[in-house]
Copies of this chain bind each other. A is one copy, B any other.
Amino acid sequence: MNFSSRLLENAVNEFSRLPGVGQKTALRLVLHLLNEPQADVERFSHALTSLRNNIRFCQVCHNISDLPVCEICSNVKRDKSVICIVEDTRDVMAVENTNQYHAVYHVLGGLISPMDGIGPSDLNIETLVERVKTGDIKEVILALSATMEGDTTIFYIYKRLKDLQVQVSTIARGIAFGGELEYVDEITLGRSIATRVPYGISEK
């Protein structure tokens, strides 16, 4: 692109480094900000730097939190004997939105991915093992993405936990509720058939 201004070009380049934002979208966003009051743009960029500079993570579950221990971990109504293991804070929000889970979390901060150079030591796995060893944990639920990286991470965590007298489970995989069979991909459908459940038992 042929920019008439270095300042404009800088701003567009910075925006287009974001995932899923190309140069055209970046230009549209930058021109939108140009039409906003100066104070709004200041507030926008302050919100970003202040988040990045002051971000803190819960000491227990590693979820993003303004307090040393997050609201979920410090909630006395939450069952502390079950830990749901997720990749990042988005997944905590997704599980919370189901309103089906009333125990606590452990945020790994990523998945094991040798291709991206992310090994077990880059993730919050040691603290998980420590939690299971020292706490009164009955069950660990692995709620990770059904990808190669997710499966690798599940296998690694399972190996680390299997001698610790804790039940390790993974969330169910299969066709989505409301999903039409003809649109389901072959792998999911194949696995759904292979891991079929007796009717009635699944409806507890």
Contact = CB atoms under 8 A, between A and B. Distances in A.
Interface of A: 1-8, 10-11, 13-15, 17-21, 25, 27-34, 36, 38, 40-56, 58, 63-66, 70-72, 88-90, 92-93, 96-97
Given A19-B29, A52-B41, A47 B14 contact: yes
A45 B49 contact: yes
Nearest to A72: B4
14 contacts: A4-B71, A4-B89, A7-B50, A7-B51, A7-B54, A8-B64, A10-B47, A14-B44, A14-B48, A17-B44, A34-B52, A38-B52, A41-B49, A45-B46
Contact of A2 (B29, B66, B93): B93
Contacts of A41: 48-49, 52
Contacts of A52: 33-34, 36, 38, 41-42
Q: Across the A-B interface, give the 9 residue pairs with the lowest CB-CB distance, nearest first.
A: A45-B45, A41-B52, A11-B51, A14-B47, A7-B51, A14-B44, A10-B47, A11-B47, A5-B64
B65 A4 contact: yes
Contact of A31 (B1, B58, B88, B97): B88
A175 B8 CA distance: 33
A90 B48 contact: no
Contact of A27 (B36, B43, B90): B90
Given A25-B20, A28-B19, A47-B14, A63 B93 contact: no
A97 B38 contact: no
Nearest to A97: B2
A115 B33 CA distance: 21
